[in-house]
Amino acid sequence: MTVQISAIYELGGPVVILMMVLSVLSLAVILWKLWQFTRLGVGRNVQISQAIISWDAGDEDNAAQALSKSKNALADVLKTRQVNGPKTRVEAKASAHLARLESGFRILDSIAQIAPLLGLFGTVLGMINAFQALQEAGNSVDPSLLAGGIWVALLTTAAGLAVAMPTSLVLTFFDSRVARERVLAESAIESKFAARAA
């Protein structure tokens, strides 16, 4: 294991090691978010949609039955008992639920932004090393010295993009799921309290 890490360090320097750390961190956050979304039932919206239809029809009992069958944690928020009062308590609980779903997004966003910059930084360092080797060679310039330095320099750019692109795509997927949950929550809260006001 130590030999492999030292070989990677020799190949791309500390930038590639840092990219590996970022990729492991990104993967850990992605797996945690997938587990969290599954546990909280994100995307399981059939019963909540049925509750909205029932509230719009003025049928509180059917809405309550639909919510009791839902595996989405948002249903627990919508079950909050609030008689003849403003809807701020339910809205606050819905906001807390959505904020919980968005936790970890900043880490993924930071990794998606920093990884290409780190790759570019590694490229610059590699080019500096390549031109230093070229200068030290003097008149006996070996093209393989320059080619090897450029190859290592471009390796860090590729590593940065390899970390950033999947992280950015997964973050977009997670963000779209939370956006759908937000729209559903707003619609459900409006329907619930409109039915009570009628």
Give per-residue pLDDT as tens, 66-122: 888 889 988 888 887 655 556 678 888 889 999 999 999 999 999 999 999 998 888
Per-residue pLDDT tens for 51-62? 888 888 888 888
Give me the domain span that covers residue 72.
Answer: 2-197
Looking at per-residue pLDDT, the higher value among 131 and 167 belongs to 167
| Confidence (pLDDT) at 148 | 64
| Confidence (pLDDT) at 123 | 83
Task: Sort 21 into a burial class: Cβ within 10 Å, 0-12 / 13-18 / 19+.
Answer: exposed
The whole-angstrom separation of Cα 187 and Cα 34 is 25
With contact defined as beta carbons under 8 Å apart, do 5 and 145 qualify?
no
With contact defined as beta carbons under 8 Å apart, do 32 and 104 qualify?
yes
> 3 pLDDT exceeds 50?
no
Structural domains in the chain (count) = 1
For 197, how many CA atoms within 13 A lie in the half-sphere containing its CB?
10
Per-residue pLDDT tens for 132-185? 777 776 666 666 666 666 777 788 888 899 999 999 999 999 999 999 999 999
With contact defined as beta carbons under 8 Å apart, do 19 and 156 qualify?
yes
pTM of this structure:
0.82
Q: Which residues of 152-179 are buried (b: 16+ CB within 10 A; e: fewer)?
A: bbebbbebbeebbeebbebbeebeeebe
